[in-house]
Amino acid sequence: MSPKLSIAIPTYNRSQFLQGALDRLFASDAILDAQIEIVISDNASTDNTEDIIHSASEKYGKEIHYFRNEKNLGIDGNIHQVVNRSNGEYVWMLSDDDVIADNAIDYVLNKINQQNFCFHFLNAKPLNLEGKTSKVIDTDQDIITTDNNIFIEKIWVWATFISSFLFKREHWINIHNREDYIGTDIYLTYTLYALLANNPSEKKIIGSTPIILIRSQYTGSYRIFYAFGYQWFKLLTETAVQMGFDRSCLKRIARKSILRDLIFRVYSAKLNSTASLSIENIRNLTRYTYAIPIAWLTLYPILIFPISIIKFTKRIFGKIGIKPSSHFK
C-alpha cells in the first residue's frame, strides 16, 4: 500500500542543517509509523550529505528513500523532483534547515487522517529569537475555507515558505505545466496557485498551531530580489490574474508584500556590505512594482537614500505601524 504521508526534503550541501532536521524528525516515535515515508532528493551535493542520511537511517531503524541527482537541477528542479519521487497520498515538503516542533509529526498525521483537504498551510514561528514568539500567520483558530482569495490573502508572502506546504499529491502532480515554473526560484508558489485554481471548491486550511521553527539567519542560496522582487510580483500582477484570482485581492497582497516584506529585504541588503544592489537587482525590484503607487513612497526611496536617512525612515515606519513580517524580527 502507498504511504499516507511523504515527508519530502530537497537538500544541497547543507549536511550540518540536515543532520539536525533528521534528528528532530526521529525524536518523535510517530515517524516510525508505516503510514509515513521520508524522501530526500540530493541536488548533487559535494559534502557528506549521503553519509548523514545513511547514518540516520541505520541509527533510527527506518528506511529513508534517498535520491541523488546526477547534476544540480537548481532549487526549483530539486523541489519538482522530490515531489515526483514521493508516493504518499499527502506530501509535506520540509526544508533541510528548518526545525519542527515536538508534536509536529502527530499533528500532521492527525490532520490528514481527520480532514480531507487539498492544501494545509502549516503555521510557523521564529526559532531562538528571545522574546519573539509571534506566528507567521496570526490566528488563534484554524482557518478553513474553500475561497481561494481568502486563503492566498491570509498566507500572502508565506506562500513562498516550503516547510508550510502540506498538500494532496494527486492535485500537485495533475498540474500539467508545473515544469514551466522551474527557474522562477518560487516554483512551489506558482504551483500552489495553480493547484488552488484547479481545485476551487476543495477545502484549504491554515493551521493555528506553529509546528515549524524558522531559523533567524537566512541559509538559502536562491536570488532574493529575483524571487521576491520580480517573480513574486509577476505572479501577483500577471499570472495569478490569468489563473482567475481576484484582482483586488492580488493588489492588496502586493501592497502588503511591499510594506511588510520587500522594503525590509532592501533595507537589510543596504546595511549588509556584502549584499550589492546591482543594476540587475534594481531591475528585478522595479519590473512589476513600478505600477504599484506605494512602491514609489516606500520602496524606491530606500533604493536611493543613504543609510542614515533610511534608518530614520525605518523608525518612522515602525511608529505608523509598518512593521516587518516575523521572518525579519
61 contacts: CB under 8 Å, gap ≥ 6: 32
Mean pLDDT computed over every residue of the chain:
90
Given a cut of 80, is residue 294 above it in pLDDT? yes
pLDDT of 298 reads 86
Summarize the confidence of residues 230-238 as an average pLDDT. 98
Between residues 271 and 119, the one the model is more confident about: 119
207 confidence band (pLDDT: 50, 70, 90): very high
128 confidence band (pLDDT: 50, 70, 90): low
The model's pLDDT over 32-57, given as tens digits with 9 standing for 90+, comes to 998 999 999 999 999 999 999 999 99
pLDDT of 304 reads 81
The model's pLDDT over 297-312, given as tens digits with 9 standing for 90+, comes to 889 988 887 766 666 6
Q: Which residue shows C-alpha cell 515531489?
A: 83
What SS3 string covers the chain? CCCCEEEEEEECCCHHHHHHHHHHHHCCHHHHCCCEEEEEEECCCCCCHHHHHHHHHHHHCCCEEEEECCCCCHHHHHHHHHHHCCCCCEEEECCCCCEECCCHHHHHHHHHHHCCCCEEECCEEECCCCCCCCCCCCCCCCEEECCHHHHHHHHHHHHHCHHHEEEEHHHHHCCCCHHHHCCCCCHHHHHHHHHHHHCCCCCEEECCCCCEEECCCCCCCCCHHHHHHHHHHHHHHHHHHHHCCCHHHHHHHHHHHHHHHHHHHHHHHHHCCCCCCCHHHHHHHHCCHHHCHHHHHHHHHHHHCCHHHHHHHHHHHHHCCCCCCHHHC
Cell of 214: 524558522
Which region among 130-134, 185-189, 283-287 has the lowest average model confidence (pLDDT)? 130-134
* φ, ψ (nearest 5 deg) of residue 80: -60, -45
Between residues 204 and 126, the one the model is more confident about: 204
Neighbour tally for 325: CB within 10 Å: 18
- Of the candidates 253, 276, 271, the one whose C-alpha atom is nearest the C-alpha of residue 313 is 271
328 confidence band (pLDDT: 50, 70, 90): very low
Confirm whether pTM is higher than 0.85: yes
- Of the candidates 248, 229, 156, 143, the one whose C-alpha atom is nearest the C-alpha of residue 193 is 156
pLDDT of 132 reads 52
Q: Which amino acid is at 110?
A: N
pLDDT of 324 reads 58
Cell of 118: 487539498
Given a cut of 80, is residue 316 above it in pLDDT? no
Given a cut of 80, is residue 220 above it in pLDDT? no
Q: Which domains does the chain have, with CATH numbers?
A: 5-214 (3.90.550.10), 225-328 (no CATH)
Summarize the confidence of residues 137-161 as an average pLDDT. 97
Q: Which residue shows C-alpha cell 513574486?
A: 232
